Structure 1
Amino acid sequence: MSLELLAIGPLSGHAVLMLVFALGVFATFALDRFQIGSVCLAVLILLPTLFFVFPHPDVEPYRFFGGFGHPALVAICALMVLGHALVLTGALEPAARRLAVLVEKSPRLALLAVLLLAAAASGVMNDTPVVVLLMPLLIAALKRAGQGPGFMLMPMNFAVLIGGMATTIGTSTNLIVVSLAASLGAQAFGIFEFFPLVALAAAPALVYLWLVAPWLLRHVSPAPTAEAQPVFEAELRVAAGSWLDGAQVREVLKRSRGRLPLRRIRRAGGSLLAPLPTATLRAGDSLVVQDTAERLKEHEQRLEAKLHAIDEERAPDAEHAVVAAQLVVTPESPLVGRTARGARFADTYGLILIGLRKASGATSTREQLPDQRLAPGDVLLLQGPTEALQALQRDALGLLLDERLALPRQRKSLLALGTLAGVVGSASLGGVPIALAALVGVLVLLGTRTVAWKEVGSALSVNVVLIVAASLALGDALTVTGATGFLAGGFVQLTQGWPAMAVLAALMGLVGVLTNFVSNNAAAAIGTPLAVEVARLLGLPPEPYVLAVLFGCNLCYVTPMAYQTNLLVMNAAGYAFRDFVRVGGPLFLLMWASLSWVLARHYGLV
């Protein structure tokens, strides 16, 4: 086989180098041991370096920085700001709250409405804000209805991913694919041009998510019991002059009605005592307990003791409500990679970190908290004023899993919605480039003070910028060195004699499998030139093969690391890796088969 592939065309030393380099990048993404932003920055440094050390007559090394000025990246950044404006102003909150009411009355019917709304909204705004908006409202509504979030959050998330593939602006991946394809000579796709294809293919998938997926997830958090909620370790401080000062442990347990999960007693000097019934407490002691966020607050009120680390000098004003809330670290959060100590919650927001639950499900002891490095999907238990918690979410540090702390609806929500509608309308009907239209939309939001420059900075994700720039650079390097042509020739030879629809499905399936283990933007940047080259070798129009890559890059259902919103719902609902395989595997096959058939039939390849 290797001789046949080499016979396709001469494989230069630079092409071999780029194939090895790309394989190393994919392996690094799949291992998930390094921060994705660091990997992408390394790619942007190493690519020009390699071409400086091993010069290529037709390649200027600095060309690999061109992704920072690529229209696709400009559009992605502007659309992130537009989507963030919808979250800040609560523009979609009224519809989401009506859904939450329906969840309480009829969870099964509400699931269908959630799937349809989530899919529709994600077609015109980034996937992550849609999930961020719906998650806390649905969790709270399901709790009031006596239901756990397990049966609804994963189907909702997958509906968001399905809707995101339906338009050119649904995800950053789509924009990369259509922009690259146009630069390689393929037809420029309109915003809603392939929406009918996705809608037709998505119909059976949404039925599956409505009727079958909840049954497959029936074992996940069947009821919102305290035992199913994340458990945190915290400390209750014994204040001088309080009833606890001089009390014995047996009295404390009696007052808590035997519900206090007391692990040990920490003396003011740092020594630890066993929680024996006859042990006597004194001022400065801390009761080390382990329980859910809700029960920790109950213990605090019942025992009249403050949760550890509310510093008296930093105590919030009495007129402001002090609450404990869970914050999920989002993939774009600036907290990712930092330690809890480095986050400086107390100095910046006046908030106290009293617990941490890792995305893996492990909890952290009080001693471990300051030096724990944060990762996407981690849940922080924070205590402080409501306004400070809302500021934390407004600055895009994470997602608060409490509907009571949802950002209040702003009077400029209609302006935010109208601006987004104007951007989409001008780009789809007026023929204005989406990058230009989106930038004008951002200018309108800034001019009307719907968003401030500080909030623009919060909306932009450094990781997304680096991923897009690095992906474009890697795809360009593979194309210019001839490595893409080599891969395309090999693919054509492997599928020689296959029906056209089978070749299309094979390309989509290949990219789909790849995107579940590496960055979907990286898969898009490499898969798009491959699709164009495969079409050229087959003597066929490139458009169906480009769409096969676009759809394949969005089939990220099988692993939690396949897409950033997968990690968000994973910890919030208590899913395990196998739950994504159990539910996402059949969905992958269903969408793969239906999209392949619809695409082939539309372009006459059946």
Structure 2
Amino acid sequence: MTLQQGLAFGLIALTIGAFIWGRFRYDLVAAVALVAGLILGVVPAEAAFDGFKNDVTVIIACALIVSAAFARSGIVEAAMRRVLPLLKTERSQVPVLTGVVTLLSMATKNVGALAIMMPVALQVARRTGSAPSRLLMPMAFGAMAGGMVTLVGTAPNIIVAQVRQEVVGQPFGMYDFAPVGLGLTAIALAFLAFGYRLLPRERHSAAVMNAALDENAYVTEVSAPDDWAPGSMTVSALMRSGEGEVRIMALIRNGRRRPNPRGNVVVKAGDILLIAGEQQGLEAFLATARLKLVRENRPIATESASEEIAVIEAVVGRNSPLQGQSVRQSDLYGQHGINLLGVSRSGYELTQHLRTAKLASGDILLLQGAEQSLPTALKALDLLPLAEREVRLGSRRKRFLPAVVLAIAMILVGFGLVPVAVAFFGAAVVIVAMGGLKMREAYAALDGPLLVLIAALIPVSGAIQQTGGSELIAGLLRHVFSGLPGVLAICGVMLASMAVTPFLNNAATVLIVAPIGA
């Protein structure tokens, strides 16, 4: 063993030890390892940042953006709404939800697939009283299993494909993992169909979860569009489409308010409905029932064409001039150029016309406005912004765009017409350019720590190969397993990877072990 090989092995060993210790962030550990490799001379200076321009990093980043756009589109939730009422017991809920997330993870990144389906699973749990843990954990395992089927399903697949290209000159294709991945996925789904019974039945009761969500229930106004078919929908039919997530508080027609309208009342074009619900449920309800927010139609003035429209939540402060004023008197749109989309008041449900409701300290307002001017308006009105979370109500969605673009990208890759990195980079750019995802949302979708981890470890893991360390270990393995079937050597590498993975990020494990296995 040469000095350089010893330094490379020592660096890898210390890096693995730091990962297992868990005292520091894994992206910081990877960055420090890269700097140490440069100082020790096992990582050439000209190769230090190869990981940041590597196809692996590009593919993972673009796959995260495409997955976020897919989740943002709401196409899966819309397709599932007809199926959800049939899922009354855990026996049917677990296989269906796990199966759907498994299929999604084959096309999008497994983390993105799980993010798409988690709100659906929580909605099912709230409606049926099922324990959320008994739905979510099988879905997590299903997402991991489905990610093994295609190249872009999970980061390790992409990394292994890159290692193969460096060794034999050709990477794995989009569906080269399918023969093994499909078999493992089928076994996993068969086990999860009954294995969920081993999980605890109750972690948090449905009643507690519903109570927590109801604290953030908003009251807002929606209207039936002009093309609303006469007699096409009654109040009770609308309530059913809301699946218990939305309550109709009042119906306003020709300026007259009808509180708690009867179920047989027919909703006509131009009618205004006062509805209440948690913002995620409201958004799904609007999409299904083809209703529009009353105040969403007023245009928001922006300083430039590139400025985005944001929707935020803010609390009315003690010294806010809005206290005691009605929405009409406050004239938020005229004075500050912002729309009030909804109001949430703890322990009290608003039943009057939203524009006549008097605001009070502690009310939570759902506001829509230009991203750059919102902070100024909040300060002037003494409104306290809540901790930032994803608020989709009142924002536009391109339902079919991400699915169509993703399908085209996968077809192009499947037929070998374009490289994976080019296809997914193009897909991400097209989706953002056509409004399927805002630039802010695209940047937020990027998992910075994961990308830094991979980009920093690519040259570090390459140090073993560049110093001849991988050949040294391969020679030792050949000596140990000489005279034995080659499959035992493969099993040895697999067992080593499986032993380390619980303590390391799976992508980090592959980056370290793959050059040795190759």
Q: Return the TM-score normalized by structure 1.
A: 0.56
Contact 1:176–1:525 under 8 Å retained in 2: yes
Please name the residue that 2:53 is paired with. Answer: 69
- Residue 229 (structure 1) shift: 9.6
CA distance in structure 1 between the aligned counterparts of 2:393 and 2:21, rounded to whole angstroms: 37
- Residue 160 (structure 1) shift: 0.1
Please give the per-residue CA displacement for 1:536-558, whole angstroms capped at 9, x wherever unaligned: xxxxxxxxxxxxxxxxxxxxxxx
CA distance in structure 1 between the aligned counterparts of 2:345 and 2:86, rounded to whole angstroms: 27
The one of 200, 217, 242 equivalent to 1:218 is 200
1:208 matched to 2:214? The reply is no
The one of 105, 110, 120 equivalent to 2:103 is 120
Contact 1:99–1:114 under 8 Å retained in 2: no
CA distance in structure 1 between the aligned counterparts of 2:465 and 2:10, rounded to whole angstroms: 14
Please name the residue that 1:440 is paired with. Answer: 426
Matches within 5 A, 1:282-293: none
- Residue 324 (structure 1) shift: 9.5
Query: Do the aligned partners of residues 206 and 439 (structure 1) sit closer, same or farther apart at CA in structure 2, a change above 3 Å counting?
Result: same
The one of 424, 444, 450 equivalent to 1:464 is 450
1:491 matched to 2:477? The reply is yes
Q: Percent identity?
A: 23
1:416 matched to 2:398? The reply is no
CA distance in structure 2 between the aligned counterparts of 1:493 and 1:229, rounded to whole angstroms: 64
- Residue 450 (structure 1) shift: 2.3
Contact 1:90–1:407 under 8 Å retained in 2: no
The one of 5, 22, 30 equivalent to 2:20 is 30
Matches within 5 A, 1:323-334: 323=344
- Residue 98 (structure 1) shift: 4.1
Contact 2:72–2:397 under 8 Å retained in 1: no
1:181 matched to 2:164? The reply is yes
Contact 1:91–1:416 under 8 Å retained in 2: no
CA distance in structure 2 between the aligned counterparts of 1:460 and 1:216, rounded to whole angstroms: 35
CA distance in structure 1 between the aligned counterparts of 2:18 and 2:125, rounded to whole angstroms: 39
Contact 2:316–2:365 under 8 Å retained in 1: no
> Secondary structure in 2 aligned to 1:169?
helix
CA distance in structure 1 between the aligned counterparts of 2:450 and 2:345, rounded to whole angstroms: 31
- Residue 90 (structure 1) shift: 1.9
CA distance in structure 2 between the aligned counterparts of 1:220 and 1:520, rounded to whole angstroms: 30
- Residue 68 (structure 1) shift: 0.9
Please give the per-residue CA displacement for 1:173-219, whole angstroms capped at 9, x wherever unaligned: 2111101211121642210122122112222221111112x221034
The one of 4, 8, 21 equivalent to 1:14 is 4
Please give the per-residue CA displacement for 1:361-412, whole angstroms capped at 9, x wherever unaligned: xxxxxxxxxxxxxxxxxxxxxx944568xx9xxxxx9877xxxx66679552
- Residue 323 (structure 1) shift: 4.8
Query: Do the aligned partners of residues 408 and 186 (structure 1) sit closer, same or farther apart at CA in structure 2, a change above 3 Å counting?
Result: farther
CA distance in structure 1 between the aligned counterparts of 2:161 and 2:209, rounded to whole angstroms: 47
- Residue 50 (structure 1) shift: 1.9
CA distance in structure 1 between the aligned counterparts of 2:146 and 2:130, rounded to whole angstroms: 26
Matches within 5 A, 1:361-510: 384-386=364-366, 410-510=396-496
Mean alpha-carbon deviation: is it higher for 158-167 or for 426-435? 426-435
- Residue 490 (structure 1) shift: 3.0
Q: Give the AA of the match of 1:472.
A: I
Please give the per-residue CA displacement for 1:30-55, whole angstroms capped at 9, x wherever unaligned: 1222122222222232221221xxxx
1:528 matched to 2:514? The reply is yes
Q: Give the AA of the match of 1:15.
A: Q
- Residue 89 (structure 1) shift: 2.1
- Residue 311 (structure 1) shift: 2.5
- Residue 169 (structure 1) shift: 0.7
- Residue 139 (structure 1) shift: 1.6
Contact 1:126–1:164 under 8 Å retained in 2: yes
Query: Do the aligned partners of residues 227 and 448 (structure 1) sit closer, same or farther apart at CA in structure 2, a change above 3 Å counting?
Result: closer
Please give the per-residue CA displacement for 1:207-266, whole angstroms capped at 9, x wherever unaligned: 111112x221034428435399999xxxxxxxxxxxxxxxxxxxxxxxxxxxxxxxxxxx
CA distance in structure 1 between the aligned counterparts of 2:40 and 2:168, rounded to whole angstroms: 28
Contact 1:93–1:409 under 8 Å retained in 2: no
Q: Give the AA of the match of 2:174.
A: I
CA distance in structure 1 between the aligned counterparts of 2:106 and 2:473, rounded to whole angstroms: 32
Please name the residue that 2:318 is paired with. Answer: 312
Please name the residue that 1:60 is paired with. Answer: 44
Q: Give the AA of the match of 1:146.
A: G
Query: Do the aligned partners of residues 194 and 128 (structure 1) sit closer, same or farther apart at CA in structure 2, a change above 3 Å counting?
Result: closer
Contact 2:145–2:184 under 8 Å retained in 1: no
The one of 34, 42, 57 equivalent to 1:44 is 34
CA RMSD, aligned part only? Answer: 3.3
Query: Do the aligned partners of residues 407 and 527 (structure 1) sit closer, same or farther apart at CA in structure 2, a change above 3 Å counting?
Result: farther
Gaps of 5+ in 1: 1-10, 232-293, 295-307, 326-351, 355-382, 392-396, 533-606
Q: Give the AA of the match of 1:69.
A: K
Contact 1:471–1:521 under 8 Å retained in 2: no
Please name the residue that 2:331 is paired with. Answer: none
> Secondary structure in 1 aligned to 2:206?
coil
Please name the residue that 1:87 is paired with. Answer: 71
Query: Do the aligned partners of residues 230 and 410 (structure 1) sit closer, same or farther apart at CA in structure 2, a change above 3 Å counting?
Result: closer
- Residue 504 (structure 1) shift: 2.2
1:172 matched to 2:155? The reply is yes
CA distance in structure 2 between the aligned counterparts of 1:71 and 1:324, rounded to whole angstroms: 50
Query: Do the aligned partners of residues 218 and 461 (structure 1) sit closer, same or farther apart at CA in structure 2, a change above 3 Å counting?
Result: closer
The number of residue pairs the alignment matches comes to 373
- Residue 111 (structure 1) shift: 1.3
Q: Return the TM-score normalized by structure 2.
A: 0.65
Contact 2:397–2:436 under 8 Å retained in 1: no
Query: Do the aligned partners of residues 455 and 226 (structure 1) sit closer, same or farther apart at CA in structure 2, a change above 3 Å counting?
Result: closer
Please name the residue that 1:604 is paired with. Answer: none
CA distance in structure 2 between the aligned counterparts of 1:32 and 1:309, rounded to whole angstroms: 38
Matches within 5 A, 1:192-203: 192-203=175-186
- Residue 309 (structure 1) shift: 8.1
Gaps of 5+ in 2: 214-277, 279-313, 328-339, 347-360, 372-386
- Residue 461 (structure 1) shift: 2.1
Q: Give the AA of the match of 1:18.
A: A
